[in-house]
A = this chain, B = another copy of it.
Amino acid sequence: MTDWLHKVQYYETDQMQIVHHANYIKWFEESRMHLLDEIDFGYDKMEEAGLLVPVLSVSAEYRSMTRFGETVAISAKIKELTGVKLILSYEITDSETGKLRCTGESKHTFLDAETYRTVSLEKKNKDIYDLFKKMYDAQED
């Protein structure tokens, strides 16, 4: 899996002259979507398949400040996968120096887009589950 690269934009800075901390949560999402694209199952396809993957929780630890003009590399990894739960972990580094900027996690569940009820991904859509599982196992090695 490749990292997602994000060029820091002026509108992402705040008056402390660093990137506002809420943007990192958006960057997690960018890399999450990139991860889905990489396994050839983009979020749009997931919605087409009648699945919603809402965020149950998110956390971020800010390790160093990011500034306008820098480019960050964001890696997303599957930390845990069960039929009904998915935990991803993130690492944001400066793309040039490799300096750690931020780490974090997000926890997700799978919902049926019609009923808004929690479903088992393994039962609802075995193909996607296997793609996730395969990626998870590949990371383990």
Residues of A in contact with B (beta carbons under 8 Å apart): 7, 9-11, 13-18, 20-23, 25-26, 29-30, 33, 42-44, 52, 54-62, 65, 68-69
Cβ–Cβ contact A62 & B52, under 8 A: no
Instruction: Name the distance in Å between A85's Cβ and chain B's nearest Cβ.
Output: 14
With a CB–CB cut-off of 8 A, which chain B residues contact A56?
61-62
Number of copies of this protein chain within its complex: 4
With a CB–CB cut-off of 8 A, which chain B residues contact A10?
14-15, 20, 29, 33, 43
Sampled A-B contacts (6; CB under 8 Å): A10-B43, A11-B29, A16-B52, A25-B25, A55-B62, A58-B59
With a CB–CB cut-off of 8 A, which chain B residues contact A21?
25, 54-55, 58
Cβ–Cβ contact B25 & A68, under 8 A: no
Instruction: Name the distance in Å between A34's Cβ and chain B's nearest Cβ.
Output: 9
Instruction: Name the distance in Å between A30's Cβ and chain B's nearest Cβ.
Output: 6
The residue of chain B having its C-beta at the shortest distance from the C-beta of A58 within the complex is B60
Cβ–Cβ contact B55 & A42, under 8 A: no
